[in-house]
Amino acid sequence: MQIIQPEEASGELIKSMERGGVNPRLQLEILKLAEFHTYPAPGVLIGAFMVDYAMDLLGAKKGQKLYGVCETPKCLPDALQVLAHITIGNNRLKVVPIGKFAITMNPPSEVPTTEAVRVYMDLKKLKAYPTIDIWYANSKEFDKKTMKGKLFDEIFSAGRNILSSEKVRVPVRKKSKWESVTCPCCGETVPDYLIEGDHCGACGSLKYYERI
C-alpha cells in the first residue's frame, strides 16, 4: 500500500473541505490545527467547528483573551489551543477528563463566577450522519481503512449541524500569590499549594518516574 505523504494528505483534506463547503478562513485554521496535532484526526476536525461556533456565540474576535474547559484530553484540547490560543501554558485551559466531547468557553471576568458557553456533540443530531455516528460510538462497524474519506466528507458537510450549545455559569480562576517550598524528600522546590502533606506530588500521588 502506498504511503500518503503529508502534502498529499493536506491536498485530500482541502478537497474534502471544499466539497463540504467549509469557508476559506476556517479551512486555514483546520490546516494549522492538523499540522499542530501532527495529523488530521476526526476529533480535531470536529473540534475546529466547536471552537469556531463557541467564539461566534460569545461574539469573540480572533486574538481576544478567552478561557476554556475541555471535557476530554483526547484531540479536543488542541482545537482550543490553535483556534482560540487557550493553552495549558498560559493557564487559560483546564482539562477535566469526564470523557464527553464538549468544551466551555468564556471571556475574563472580575467577579467570582461568570456566564460561559458550552458546546457539545448532540447525539440526536448525529443520527443524520451515519458515518460520524458509528465512528463516535467507537462501533466495530467503522472501518478506518475504507471509511476514513467518507468520515471526513461527513464531518465537513455537517459542520456545526452535529453540535448543540447551552449557556452555563462557571467559577472564575483568579491568580493568587504563592511561596516556594522545598520538599524534604527530593530537595526540589514547588509552589506551596502543590504540597501534599509534607512532600511534593512527585514524592507522593503524582510520582511517575524512578531515578536510574
Q: Which three cell numbers stand for residue 155?
A: 464531518
Right CATH for 6-171 from 3.30.1330.130, 1.10.3210.10, 3.40.50.1370, 1.10.10.10: 3.30.1330.130
- C-alpha dist (Å) from residue 59 to 20, 84, 94, 104, 171: 25, 13, 21, 14, 20
Measured on CA atoms in the order 121, 80, 73, 180, is the torsion positive or negative?
A: negative
By residue count, the chain amounts to 212
- pTM of this prediction exceeds 0.85: yes
Cβ contact 189:172 at 8 Å:
no
Instruction: Name which of 167, 59, 66, 173 is nearest 120 in CA terms.
Output: 167
| pLDDT tens string 180-190 | 999 999 999 99
Which three cell numbers mark 28? 486555514
Q: pLDDT tens for residues 87-135? A: 999 999 999 999 999 999 999 999 999 999 999 999 999 999 999 999 9
Domain extent listing, the chain? 6-171, 176-212
